[in-house]
Amino acid sequence: MWDERYSTEEYVYGTAPNDFLAAHVGEIPKGKVLCLGEGEGRNAVFLATQRYQVTAVDQSAVGLEKARRLAQSRGVSIDCIQADLADFDPGENQWDGIVAIFCHLPSPVRRRLHQRIPAALKPNGVFVLEAYTPRQLEFGTGGPPTADLLISANDLRSEICGLNFLHLEETERDVVEGHLHTGRASVVQVIASKALRRFSFSSHRGGARHKVRYVESGGGDSDENCRICQPGIKPRE
């Protein structure tokens, strides 16, 4: 199906990057980025022009060949992997960013892939996604024709554990990305981070015990009776 769709000189989803990705690319730490279901390469090539080291994954050899040509025309390079995402392993602690733009998969495949994303990201790595929601069936301006291939915010909350959602929203917007994605649309957008956790010691007053707690900022109380709170031993005068 996808080889046939991409077997044209035209880039069917255009050559410009997705609007949501382009607006939030600065959220992704510089380094290695994995683009899932990348097709003809428009987003991977954009990221490469922003000085990321990009790997594009797609099952279509035809799409990936067009991605390579687009990269060459823009004076950048990308790595390409031809793989079915049902079998693809993104690895562990590999990526500073993972991007999925209109990457619509059967729900069992999608759940397995999403469950692997937190482990695949490096600490402080960022996941960026935009996809059509089930309400997109009412709009008919692009995307899969079946609800099982569409994604809701609730799906993402349950499927991606271990990341902090910095942005998770279902919204309507105009999508104009090639002739197959054109018009008002219902989408879900995600920015999620594998943030490093910080901890503080909190003392129990009157005793030399501490408990450890996770905090976003700040610190615990000090206790003069606790060795952890005490400064280092001073030399005698």
One domain for residues 73 and 185 = yes
CATH number at residue 188: 3.40.50.150
Question: Which residue from 38, 33, 73, 24 is spatially nearest to 51, judged by alpha carbons?
Answer: 33
What's 148's DSSP letter?
Answer: G
One domain for residues 117 and 221 = no
One domain for residues 233 and 119 = no
SS3 state of residue 200: strand
List of E strands, 31-163: 32-36, 53-58, 79-82, 95-101, 121-132
Question: Which residue from 91, 90, 38 is spatially nearest to 60, judged by alpha carbons?
Answer: 38
One domain for residues 136 and 205 = no
pTM score of the predicted model = 0.83
Residues in the chain predicted with pLDDT less than 70, given as ranges, are: 197-237
Residue 197: the pLDDT is 55
One domain for residues 60 and 17 = yes
Per-residue pLDDT of 132-164, as tens digits, reads 999 999 999 999 999 999 999 999 999 999 999
- Identity (one letter) of the amino acid at 178? G
Residue 199: the pLDDT is 44
One domain for residues 64 and 122 = yes
Per-residue pLDDT of 20-41, as tens digits, reads 999 999 999 999 999 999 999 9
**Domain of residue 152, residue span:** 2-193
One domain for residues 176 and 233 = no
Q: How many domains does the structure of the chain reveal? A: 2
One domain for residues 135 and 235 = no
Token couple for 73 = 């025309």
One domain for residues 88 and 166 = yes
Largest CA-CA distance found in the chain, in angstroms, rounded: 84
One domain for residues 7 and 88 = yes
One domain for residues 96 and 142 = yes
One domain for residues 27 and 57 = yes
